[in-house]
Structure 1
């Protein structure tokens, strides 16, 4: 199984290297259109290799997706915590009832009669 995992990550790494080599050209990223930038007197732009832009975009997309899914599953996690608290309370109650039945007080009268005759 480790061999398959290593082979998978080797293929992913090779693909990333090939993407990087194929997209080495420098591109200019602008935060706003040229006309608006000239109008405001601002020109926020940066020059990066295209593969860096691609990797940053994919990473940002993954982070946004993970955050979106985490927020969406809040109700499910909240319900699970509530159920876990309920299970723990029931376990404590069962343990308490078993302890009371074992001491003989407040136990089941039918079981007490069967124990006496048996």
Structure 2
């Protein structure tokens, strides 16, 4: 499985490099649309592959953040259940210590 993962990552990396080399042309990014550019004329020229990669990266970060927020209730429930299981385990150990009577035949048979 590890080999498949490394192979998949290598293929993705090669694809990114090939797409980056194929899209080296400069594009102009404007802060505001053409009609509003008189208010704040900010524009920058960057390679097209950089725009693409940054857009993909921002999309992945937003997706991971939204998924993390969506899973919060499941993580919270798992934490609560783990706490409850630990509490019940401690209570069961305490009850075994305080109520275990060696003369009880049933308990001797089941090994408590």
| Shared fold per TM-score greater than 0.5 | yes
Give the match for residue 84 of structure 2: 86
Query: Which of 1 and 2 has greater Rg?
Result: 1
1:16-55 alignment, distance < 5 Å: 16-38=16-38, 40=39, 42-55=40-53
Provide the alpha-carbon RMSD of the alignment. 1.8
Structure 2: runs of 5 or more not aligned: 107-112
For the residues of structure 2 that align with 1:113 and 1:15, how far apart are their CA atoms? 72
2:105 maps to 1:114:
yes
TM-score using structure 2 length: 0.85
Q: For each residue in 1:14-64, what CA deviation from the matched residue of structure 2 results, as whole angstroms up to 9, or x when unmatched?
A: 1011100111000011121021121x1x11222110000000000000000
For the residues of structure 2 that align with 1:113 and 1:2, how far apart are their CA atoms? 54
* DSSP-derived class of the 2:37 partner: helix
Over 3 Å counting, the alpha-carbon distance change for 1:34 and 1:113 in structure 2 is: closer
Over 3 Å counting, the alpha-carbon distance change for 1:36 and 1:82 in structure 2 is: same
Q: Structure 1 stretches (4+) deviating beyond 4 angstroms?
A: none
Structure 1: runs of 5 or more not aligned: 105-110
Over 3 Å counting, the alpha-carbon distance change for 1:26 and 1:91 in structure 2 is: same
1:95-114 alignment, distance < 5 Å: 95-102=93-100, 104=101, 112-114=103-105
Over 3 Å counting, the alpha-carbon distance change for 1:21 and 1:95 in structure 2 is: same
For the residues of structure 2 that align with 1:44 and 1:62, how far apart are their CA atoms? 27
